[in-house]
Amino acid sequence: MAVSAVEGSCLCGQVRFSLLPPFEKMLHCHCARCRKGTGTGHATNLLIGKEQISWLSGEDLISRFDLPGAKSFGKWFCRSCGSPVPRLSRSGYVVVPAGSLDSDPGISPSGRIFWDSRASWSCEEGDLPTYSGYPES
């Protein structure tokens, strides 16, 4: 059964978006930047093509922060509530914070990236493969 469009929003609900499947992958990222950017042990992100997202409301409330000196790390967030929202990466794909989704995207994480730089108190490996950096494909 095909998954229909998946919607998401920020905490205050002013920024809303819709995603069209199929979705390429979802990953847990354990790098220090993602930990700082989320305040958690890892970020879980869905990666999609830029043609797969439509902004339903609040696009004018989105602020962007690009980490100085970083090749591609940045954050987009709602100016009203501070929640992370999907961002267009400088690599050309869209990074969607999985926690911003309002329903099941029909895909689960397929791996843990930047595993070697995880926090010592972070979650355990479990059944997912781990990668020192980005996986090959």
Q: Which pLDDT score is estimated for 137? A: 61
Looking up tokens 């999985």 gives: 98
User: Residues with Cβ < 8 Å from 57, sequence gap 6 or more?
Assistant: 14, 15, 16
The strand order across the sheet containing 74-78 reads 62-66, 74-78, 84-85
Domains and CATH numbers, the chain: 6-117 (2.170.150.70)
CA angle 40, 3, 81 (to 5 degrees): 35
pLDDT tens digits along 82-126: 999 999 987 788 999 999 999 999 999 999 988 998 988 887 778
Residues 26-85 have pLDDT tens digits of: 999 898 888 988 888 899 999 999 999 999 999 999 998 877 777 777 789 999 999 999
CA–CA gap between residue 40 and residue 51 (Å, rounded) = 29
